[in-house]
Amino acid sequence: MSANVTLAPAVIAAAPADRGHRLRLVSGYVLAITLIVALTVYGLDYYTLSSADRPFSAKHALLKPSGAIGLKLGFLGLGMFFAIFLYPLRKRWAWLSRQGSARHWLDIHVLLGLAAPFVIAFHSSFKFGGFAGMAFWIMVAVSLSGIIGRYLYAQIPRRVNAAELTMKELQEMQTRLSGQLAKQDLLPQADLRSLLHLPSRERVEQLPMVVALAYMMVLDVVRAFRVAKLRRHALPIRQKLTTLLGFLPTRHPALERTIAAAREEASLAKRVVFLSRSQQVFHLWHVVHKPFSYSFALLALIHIVVVAMMGYF
Ligand code: HEM
């Protein structure tokens, strides 16, 4: 049997250069979560007071939007706001596009886009009226829609530099992965066939857009169960239990490499079958995400100019 199943580097990008980025990203998420938890623990009794009672709280001077902490959170939100827009600007400014990789920039965009609504909510002390409130809710909508966008982005196979792969490159990659899997004898071919079972491209083309999107997501969940089944079949009873019925990896490098190749093949095959639908929905998603983002930016800028004119800075 061939234990040397290697993965297509364009699909699974885990180059050493990525490690520094991953570390920074994880630190960013830990920092953001710590800040949110600390503000919740410290401010819960203040934020749950009515507007009339808040001025009598000892924390009012700190946590009101113009307070010592509240204002700093506003500035932090402003900084995050500018950093979020660096990602789209990068596509337009040649010098910026030469800095770092598109994937890394998108990761930072996502981190800031998820954290910013929380920072702004704490800055506003959970009062969402007027222009600023409208900007906040649009920001929340943009941020939530971003989660769908990020999913769709991942459905379109790309090179390490984030450029989309052509159909010819995808087919070559599939052929390579299938060849590697055909040579292995650790996993039953029947289980592999079940992992690769997909609807035909013609059927997918006929599905309504929302159904196609839901179908893609369901297949991702089903794949996790089919991979666990593959692993279960290759293990003795005791290890079935220690791997939580095959959902956790084993300590067998050869088996794990083969399973990773099978999972990648199944994921790639699914993305190829749904490719034109993913591109179609992703294009529509852009059409919605962009104007909402810009209207949020406009309202946020109006809010900043108004408070600056009122002398809060
Ligand atoms: C709340 C603040 C956010 C703002 C203002 C914002 C704004 C933008 C803008 C203006 C674009 C460029 C659109 C285009 O060029 O057509 C963009 C792209 C994108 N954003 Fe956001 N976004 C936010 C949050 C998020 C979040 C939370 C996620 C994911 C969880 C996300 C995921 C994406 C993705 C996947 C793209 C497209 C990437 C590409 O096609 O290259 N965004 N965003």
Cα 289 to middle of ligand 1, angstroms? 7
Mean pLDDT of 35-42: 98
Per DSSP, what are the bridge partners of residue 158? 164
The pLDDT score that the predictor gives to residue 6 is 36
Residue 13 has pLDDT above 60, yes or no: no
Cα 53 to middle of ligand 1, angstroms? 38
pLDDT in tens, 71-87: 999 999 999 999 999 99
Exposure string for 48-61, b = 16+ CB within 10 A, e = fewer: eeeeeebeebebbe
Ligand 1 binding residues, C-beta < 6 A: 84, 87-88, 106, 109-110, 113-114, 116, 139, 142-143, 146-147, 149-150, 153, 286, 289-290, 293, 296
Mean pLDDT of 27-47: 97
The pLDDT score that the predictor gives to residue 45 is 96
Q: What pTM did the predictor assign?
A: 0.85
- 17: pLDDT confidence band, cut at 50, 70 and 90? low
Please tell me the distance from the alpha carbon of residue 297 to that of residue 131, in angstroms, as a whole number: 11
- 124: pLDDT confidence band, cut at 50, 70 and 90? very high
Protein residue whose Cα sits closest to atom 35 of ligand 1: 150
Atom of ligand 1 nearest to the CA of 153: 35
DSSP string spanning 227-278? HHHHHHHTS-HHHHHHTTTTTS--S-HHHHHHHHHHHHHHHHHHHHHTHHHH
HSE-CB at 54 with a 13 A cutoff on CA atoms is 19
Percent of the chain with pLDDT over 70: 94
Residue 258 has pLDDT above 90, yes or no: no
Residue 4 has pLDDT above 50, yes or no: no
Protein residue whose Cα sits closest to atom 20 of ligand 1: 146
Mean pLDDT of 170-196: 81
Protein residue whose Cα sits closest to atom 33 of ligand 1: 146
Q: Say which residues have a Cβ less than 8 Å from residue 239's Cβ, sequence separation at least 6.
A: 250
